[in-house]
């Protein structure tokens, strides 16, 4: 049976995708964006009040939950025998992705475009790198993979699809200025929080989360005394 921790990535995906489309719907309803001129990026929809307030709240909470997931994953990989250097590289890649997500929400494109774009780079580019590193690490270290055999190909397919969408989005903007970002962003979020991502947390339970607040990983620290978080079933 899945532990409570396995629900965290699923909740993050539902929260983020729902929030993105709620912001989009409000922007269309109050006519701060005009669909006749093209399908807008969610960043444009979230640049105007009142939906900008919802946009910030959605991304801030999403960033906090994403950071929490990355830390749990760090401890799980450590307990599976992953070395400190590659594990911390993955951890900090994920934490920077979470930081970028928060920056995107708090520095709207209309008000602070350079900072907003820097946050978007951290959120999308490093976020994608985070999942590719997870896949690469599993291939190199032969880590346990809870769940059905098709979970591995599913993860590979989602990472590949997200990469294609990111590249396509960048090319569309740089070459023809098309603002078609809401759909790629939503698919990216769904890929990040798919059930396949949740399966490694199978068997982890809520009471184990509480210790994380007092045992945050730091450079050079292996958090001695930490109870094993991993599950082998």
Domain assignments of the chain as residue spans, ordered by start: 4-199
Question: Is 225's pLDDT higher than 70?
Answer: no
Question: Is 142's pLDDT higher than 90?
Answer: no
Helix pair 51-79, 84-106: axis angle to 10 deg = 170
pLDDT of 161 reads: 86
Please give the Cα distance from 133 to 119 (Å, whole number).
Answer: 20
Enter the pTM of the model.
0.72
Identify the CA nearest to 43 among candidates 115, 125, 97, 127.
115
Task: Collect contacts of 135-138 with beta carbons under 8 A, ≥24 apart.
Answer: 135/159, 137/77, 137/82, 137/86, 137/90
Please give the Cα distance from 131 to 188 (Å, whole number).
Answer: 11
Reading the block at residue 105, the tokens are 């929400």
Which phi and psi angles does 182 have, rounded to 5°? -65, -45
Please give the Cα distance from 172 to 41 (Å, whole number).
Answer: 12
Question: Is 10's pLDDT higher than 50?
Answer: yes
Question: Is 59's pLDDT higher than 70?
Answer: yes
Please tell me which residue, 151 or 32, carries the higher pLDDT value: 32
User: Are the CB atoms for 128 and 93 separated by under 8 Å?
Assistant: no
Task: Collect contacts of 160-163 with beta carbons under 8 A, ≥24 apart.
Answer: 161/187, 161/191, 162/128, 162/131, 162/187, 162/188, 162/191, 162/192, 163/128, 163/132
Q: What does the DSSP assignment read for 17-71?
A: HHHHHHHHHHHHHTTSS-GGG-PPPHHHHTTSTTHHHHHHHHHHHHHHHHHHHHH
Q: Among the listed ranges 14-23, 26-35, 56-65, 199-208, which one has the minimum average pLDDT value?
A: 199-208
Helix pair 8-29, 182-192: axis angle to 10 deg = 160
Q: Among the listed ranges 39-43, 157-161, 189-193, 210-214, which one has the minimum average pLDDT value?
A: 210-214
What are 60-114's pLDDT values in tens digits?
999 999 999 999 889 888 888 888 888 899 999 999 999 999 999 999 888 888 8
């Amino acid at each position: 049976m899945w532990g409570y921790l396995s629900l965290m990535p699923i909740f993050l995906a539902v929260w983020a995708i729902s929030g993105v489309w709620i912001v989009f719907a409000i922007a269309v309803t109050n006519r701060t964006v005009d669909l006749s001129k093209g399908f807008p990026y969610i960043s444009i929809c979230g640049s105007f009040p009142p939906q900008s307030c919802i946009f910030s709240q959605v991304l801030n909470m999403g960033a906090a939950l994403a950071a929490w997931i990355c830390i749990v994953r760090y401890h799980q990989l450590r307990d599976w025998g992953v070395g400190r250097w590659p594990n911390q590289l993955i951890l900090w890649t994920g934490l920077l992705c979470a930081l970028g997500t928060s920056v995107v929400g708090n520095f709207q494109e209309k008000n602070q475009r350079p900072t907003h774009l820097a946050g978007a780079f951290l959120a999308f580019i490093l976020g994608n790198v985070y999942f590719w590193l997870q896949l690469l690490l599993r291939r190199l270290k032969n880590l346990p993979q809870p769940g059905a055999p098709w979970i591995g190909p599913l993860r590979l397919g989602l990472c590949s699809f997200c990469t294609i969408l990111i590249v396509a989005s960048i090319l569309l903007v740089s070459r023809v200025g098309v603002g078609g970002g809401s759909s790629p962003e939503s698919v990216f979020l769904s890929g990040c929080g798919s059930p396949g991502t949740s399966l490694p947390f199978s068997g982890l339970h809520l009471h184990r989360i509480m210790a994380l607040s007092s045992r945050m990983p730091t450079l050079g620290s292996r958090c001695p005394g930490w109870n094993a978080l991993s599950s082998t079933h």
